[in-house]
């Protein structure tokens, strides 16, 4: 997973005076908004999804306590998220507390607003829980533009609302006649764009975590619905529920791999101490270890005492069995050898878990180490005795892994001897930097000498090193370490980084603080980037975990006007740039039948309209990919007097054509009349989102029936007047235009005529004779015409590769820390990354084909 970041060098200077006036006291949720990194780990995509996890974890705590059976997560069209459960519901009765600030306030309000307030500080309300600090849901409230909490309990539905952590609608009853079986809590929130640079939830990220939780909590039903239409034209709706628990999870992770053993399940409960361990492990023919650890359902990417206990017992038991059976000769397998090809999930539950921080990356409880070690030692030894054939295979794999480790050691020694003959043990093709300050230096890995030449010419020689690689890297997903080390370009990379590889990796010896992959924005560049990421993920994973790996974002375009210019990263940013250039002197106007301007749309309303039009354009593209001629469809509906609704909701397809139907009954009648099978009828999921968008557009004053007008004509050929236009403020020195429409003359607050001219400045005074009206034929044309206006007087240059950019251009767009954009590669959802690398880079061709077919309609750039 990647998240956007723009590293810059620190430039702060110490203030001259330091008095009590400089001391700030942050109260309530203000501290969370001021320093979100301390509470949710930052402001990137990981932190954004952490808000959802906090709400889901609370719902799962209800399930672990035995009061909830289902959890629903719903991503709204507006970008909000709602998490619902059927548990006991948050308490709504008044608080009884000695603190007058808290006493008498509804408990649900205190839970959402007071840091370190919650029901998980003792074992009364929850025997086992993931929440500990009384902070999680407060972070959600503090870092959201708005939050709404709905509580259903005892036949009553309650509601309370907040904006950026402050109460806007106090707790009140919504209804008092609910069935007593309808209970639970719903938390809806919209992430605050002032805090997060990107507030767009990723379905795949949430899907992985919720699937994980369903495996960790057998019998609990977890559903995820994304109301936003995806690129293939579907509203995604998935549900997870599995009674086999983590055994099924291990088998899911190993789907597509060849297994060497059956799945081994270990379960142990100590009721006196309230401890429980559930462990599942299975060996495959792969060369990589995939070990996932959880404490009270919280994923611990840095492991902890439960992982130490597991590894210790596994090494002791299997090596003991191998010695007893005479399977070990000279070379004794290490713990790493014994875990090669192993997929394991360790889940422990305990009453008072101790984690290293709020994001709970590492479990620290000492008592769990011995508990897990004893459970694994006894159960695994018994399994080996019962399954001698599989046990022998596991031991033989470990012996082969030890031999491969020895071969890799010899290959490493050979690399070291070769390096000793070189220039300071560094590869000759490396253009090194002069600084030894690791935290301020970085190395760019570029493809080919052409890009390398531009990068060397434009770099900062003090802090930036350049390493050009020839050709494509070896696909390390399919290779043992000794073969990996024999590949020349990998040898070069290892020599340049000087931190070792695999089990010898020592991040402290890394020569550069940032490793930046910089490849062309084409298919070959993407392939090389994927091969490099596979190498780092498999052989230098700790560097990924520490956030040392970045992906450079070279621009696709340069937009110039006269002597000034700016670089544009991608097509979406290009669209925003063109719109921004146009809106400096344009405002959208609604015209009457006589051509006069009836209304001007500008400011925040215009910005919302444009966002909706962008989304509308995306949905129309989806429709086209599915073979639906959208403008004709809407034109026909606009002239339909039946009043069934704006859009048809069902499509019936057969060899001779298609039928669009507004109701399921109509579609069923068409299918029955033509004797069609059931799968000939399908729902058009994107219609609900389109109707919402059309409704929002209508509130802004746009007549959505005009969406269907093409070149001012309806399908019947009737000539219709243009209803919309962009009124442009005249450029300096522009000549009057005789055919310009007169602007509105309604007086403003100063008694002067109001002019509808651009960029949120409707009251600006200008000479209407010098303004220009650009006519728009229909609603799609609003956005397209705006882009055309933005292109006026500018020159657009598209870059095909890094080698085509001059050294100065590459520096100021991609390498300058003050201006560049980087994507940091993170270890979020590491197990899903492991599975995805296996799909994309492994040997199962059919699995890869199915993945490509599933995501085929999501392709945006295709080189043929």
Q: pLDDT tens digits, residue range 100-113?
A: 777 888 989 988 88
Please report the pLDDT score of residue 309 as a whole number.
Answer: 95
The structure tokens listed for 337 are 């050898």
Q: Please check whether residue 351 is in contact with residue 274, taking contact to mean a CB–CB distance below 8 angstroms.
A: yes
Please report the pLDDT score of residue 756 as a whole number.
Answer: 35
Question: 629-688: per-residue pLDDT in tens?
Answer: 555 555 555 555 554 555 666 777 776 566 767 677 888 888 888 788 776 777 666 555
Q: Residue 511, CB half-sphere, CA atoms under 13 Å: how many?
A: 20
Please report the pLDDT score of residue 516 as a whole number.
Answer: 95
The structure tokens listed for 29 are 């949720």
Residue 570's pLDDT band (cuts 50, 70, 90)? confident
**Core vs surface per residue 589-627: b (16+ CB within 10 A) or e:** bbbeeeeebeebbbeeebeebbebbebbeebbebbeebe
pLDDT over threshold 70, residue 123: no
- Which SS3 state, helix, strand or coil, does residue 186 take? strand
Q: Calculate the CA 722 to chain-centre distance.
A: 41
Higher pLDDT, 498 or 860: 498
Please report the pLDDT score of residue 837 as a whole number.
Answer: 63
User: Alpha-carbon distance 184 to 72, whole Å?
Assistant: 11
Question: 286-311: per-residue pLDDT in tens?
Answer: 888 889 999 888 888 888 999 999 99
Calculate the alpha carbon distances from 771 to 76, 390, 583, 737, 742 in Å: 41, 83, 14, 7, 9
Q: Of 745, 589, 772, nearest to 754 (Cα)? A: 745
Range from 74-88, 718-732, 776-790, 812-826 carrying the lowest mean pLDDT? 718-732
Mean pLDDT over each residue of the chain, to the nearest integer: 78
User: Alpha-carbon distance 248 to 212, whole Å?
Assistant: 10
Find all residues with CB under 8 Å of 139, minimum gap 6, and list them.
Answer: 32, 36, 39, 40, 50, 51, 54
Phi first, then psi, for residue 663 (nearest 5°) are -130, 160
Helix H, strand E, coil C: the string for 713-728 is ECCCCCECCCCEEEEE
Range from 156-165, 414-423, 463-472, 486-495 carrying the lowest mean pLDDT? 414-423
Q: Please check whether residue 693 is in contact with residue 681, taking contact to mean a CB–CB distance below 8 angstroms.
A: no
User: Alpha-carbon distance 450 to 619, whole Å?
Assistant: 40
Q: What is the mean pLDDT of residues 461-475?
A: 88
In this structure, the strands spanning 681-683 and 70-75 are unpaired
The widest CA-to-CA distance across the chain, in whole angstroms, is: 101
Question: 137-186: per-residue pLDDT in tens?
Answer: 888 999 999 999 999 998 899 999 999 989 999 999 988 888 878 899 99
Find all residues with CB under 8 Å of 447, minimum gap 6, and list them.
Answer: 468, 469, 519, 520, 524, 525, 528, 802
User: Alpha-carbon distance 535 to 558, whole Å?
Assistant: 33
User: Alpha-carbon distance 321 to 399, whole Å?
Assistant: 13
Q: What is the mean pLDDT of residues 15-29?
A: 62
Find all residues with CB under 8 Å of 364, minimum gap 6, and list them.
Answer: 304, 305, 354, 355, 356
Q: Of 517, 540, 544, nearest to 528 (Cα)? A: 517
User: Alpha-carbon distance 287 to 476, whole Å?
Assistant: 10
Calculate the alpha carbon distances from 809 to 441, 557, 567, 639, 821 in Å: 21, 11, 9, 54, 14
pLDDT over threshold 50, residue 713: no
Sign of the CA dihedral running 284, 286, 287, 288: negative
Residue 234's pLDDT band (cuts 50, 70, 90)? low
Residue 514's pLDDT band (cuts 50, 70, 90)? very high
Please report the pLDDT score of residue 34 as a whole number.
Answer: 81
Q: Which helix (H) or strand (E) holds 673?
A: helix 664-673
The structure tokens listed for 17 are 């005076």
- Which SS3 state, helix, strand or coil, does residue 777 take? coil
In this structure, the strands spanning 514-518 and 549-552 are parallel
CA 511-517-518 angle, to 5 degrees, is 125
Q: Of 194, 193, 188, 138, nearest to 166 (Cα)? A: 138
Question: 601-640: per-residue pLDDT in tens?
Answer: 888 788 878 877 887 777 777 666 665 555 555 555 555 5
Question: 311-366: per-residue pLDDT in tens?
Answer: 999 999 999 999 988 888 778 888 888 998 899 999 999 888 888 765 578 899 99
The structure tokens listed for 9 are 């060098």
User: Alpha-carbon distance 769 to 740, whole Å?
Assistant: 7
Q: What is the mean pLDDT of residues 46-54?
A: 89
User: Alpha-carbon distance 493 to 501, whole Å?
Assistant: 10
User: Alpha-carbon distance 566 to 232, whole Å?
Assistant: 33
Burial of 87 (0-12, 13-18, 19+ CB in 10 A): buried
pLDDT over threshold 60, residue 9: no
Annotated catalytic sites, by residue? Answer: 447, 520, 522, 524
Residue 734's pLDDT band (cuts 50, 70, 90)? very low
Q: What is the mean pLDDT of residues 807-827?
A: 86
The structure tokens listed for 283 are 């060996």
Q: 305-324 vs 388-420: helix axis angle to the nearest 10?
A: 110
């Amino acid at each position: 997973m990647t998240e956007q970041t723009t590293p810059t060098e620190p430039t702060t200077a110490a203030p001259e005076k330091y008095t009590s006036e400089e001391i700030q006291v942050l109260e309530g949720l203000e501290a969370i908004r001021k320093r979100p990194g301390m509470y949710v780990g930052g402001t990137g995509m990981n932190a954004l999804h952490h808000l959802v996890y906090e709400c889901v974890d609370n719902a799962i705590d209800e399930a672990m306590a035995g009061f909830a059976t289902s959890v629903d997560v719903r991503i709204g069209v507006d970008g909000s998220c709602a998490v619902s459960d059927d548990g006991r519901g948050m308490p709504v009765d008044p608080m009884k507390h000695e603190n007058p600030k808290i006493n008498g306030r509804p408990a649900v309000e205190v839970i959402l607003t007071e840091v370190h307030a919650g029901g998980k500080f003792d074992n009364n309300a929850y025997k086992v829980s993931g929440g500990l600090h009384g902070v999680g849901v407060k972070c959600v409230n503090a870092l959201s533009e708005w939050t709404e909490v709905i509580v259903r309990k005892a036949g009553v539905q309650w509601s309370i609302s907040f904006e950026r952590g402050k109460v806007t609608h106090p707790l009140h009853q919504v209804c008092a006649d609910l069935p007593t079986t309808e209970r639970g809590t719903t938390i809806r929130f919209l992430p605050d764009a002032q805090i997060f640079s990107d507030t767009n939830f990723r379905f795949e990220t949430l899907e992985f975590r919720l699937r994980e939780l369903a495996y960790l909590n057998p019998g609990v039903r977890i559903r995820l619905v994304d109301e936003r239409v995806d690129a293939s034209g579907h509203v995604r709706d998935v549900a997870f529920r599995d009674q086999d628990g983590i055994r099924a999870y291990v088998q899911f992770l190993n789907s597509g791999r060849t297994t060497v053993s059956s799945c081994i399940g270990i379960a142990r409960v100590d009721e006196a101490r309230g401890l429980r361990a559930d462990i599942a492990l299975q060996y495959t023919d792969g060369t990589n270890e995939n070990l996932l650890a959880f404490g009270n359902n919280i994923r611990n990417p840095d492991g902890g005492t439960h992982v130490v206990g597991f590894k210790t017992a596994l090494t002791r038991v299997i090596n003991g069995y191998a010695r007893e059976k005479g399977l070990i000769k000279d070379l004794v397998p290490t713990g790493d050898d014994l875990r090669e090809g192993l997929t394991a999930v360790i889940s422990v539950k305990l009453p008072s878990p101790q984690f290293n921080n709020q994001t709970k990356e590492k479990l620290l409880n000492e008592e769990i180490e011995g508990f897990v070690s004893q459970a694994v030692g006894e159960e695994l030894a018994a399994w080996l005795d019962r399954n001698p054939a599989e046990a022998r295979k596991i031991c033989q794999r470990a012996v082969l892994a030890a031999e491969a480790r020895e071969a890799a050691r010899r290959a490493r020694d050979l690399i070291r001897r070769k390096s000793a003959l070189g220039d300071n043990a560094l590869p000759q093709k490396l253009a090194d930097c002069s600084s030894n300050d690791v935290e301020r230096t970085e190395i760019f890995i570029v493809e080919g000498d052409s890009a390398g030449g531009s990068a060397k010419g434009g770099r900062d020689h003090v802090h930036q090193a350049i390493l050009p690689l020839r050709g494509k890297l070896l696909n390390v997903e399919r290779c043992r370490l000794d073969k990996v080390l024999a590949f020349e370009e990998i040898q070069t990379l290892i020599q340049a980084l000087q931190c070792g590889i695999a089990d010898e990796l020592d991040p402290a010896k890394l020569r550069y603080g940032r490793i930046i992959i910089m490849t062309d924005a084409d298919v070959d560049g993407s392939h090389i980037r994927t091969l490099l990421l596979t190498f780092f993920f498999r052989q230098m994973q700790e560097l990924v975990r520490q956030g040392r790996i970045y992906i450079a974002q070279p621009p696709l375009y340069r937009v110039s006007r006269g002597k000034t210019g700016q670089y544009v990263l991608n097509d979406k940013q290009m669209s925003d740039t063109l719109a921004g250039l146009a809106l400096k002197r344009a405002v959208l106007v609604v015209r009457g039948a006589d051509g006069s301007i009836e209304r001007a749309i500008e400011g925040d309303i215009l910005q919302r309209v444009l966002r909706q039009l962008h989304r509308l354009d995306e949905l129309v593209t989806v429709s086209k990919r599915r073979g639906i001629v959208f403008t004709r469809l809407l034109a026909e509906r606009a002239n339909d007097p039946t009043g069934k609704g704006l859009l048809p909701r069902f499509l019936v397809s057969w060899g001779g054509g298609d039928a669009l139907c507004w109701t399921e009954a109509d579609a069923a009648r068409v299918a029955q009349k033509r004797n069609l099978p059931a799968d000939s009828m399908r729902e058009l999921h994107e219609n609900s989102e389109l109707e919402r968008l059309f409704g929002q557009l209508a509130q802004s004053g746009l007549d959505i029936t005009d969406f269907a007008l093409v070149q001012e004509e309806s399908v019947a050929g009737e000539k219709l007047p243009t209803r919309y236009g962009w009124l442009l403020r005249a450029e300096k020195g522009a000549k009057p235009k005789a055919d310009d429409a007169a602007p509105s003359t309604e007086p403003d607050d100063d008694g002067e005529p109001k002019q509808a001219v651009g960029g949120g400045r409707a009251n600006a005074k200008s000479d209407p004779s010098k303004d220009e009206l650009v006519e728009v034929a229909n609603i799609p044309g609003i956005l397209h015409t705006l882009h055309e206006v933005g292109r006026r007087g500018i020159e657009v240059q598209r870059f095909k590769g890094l080698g085509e950019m001059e050294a100065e251009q590459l520096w100021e767009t991609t390498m300058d820390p003050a201006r560049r954009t980087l994507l940091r590669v993170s270890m979020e959802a590491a197990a899903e990354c492991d599975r995805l690398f296996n799909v994309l880079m492994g040997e199962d061709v059919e699995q890869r084909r199915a993945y490509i077919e599933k995501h085929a309609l999501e392709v945006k750039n295709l080189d043929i």
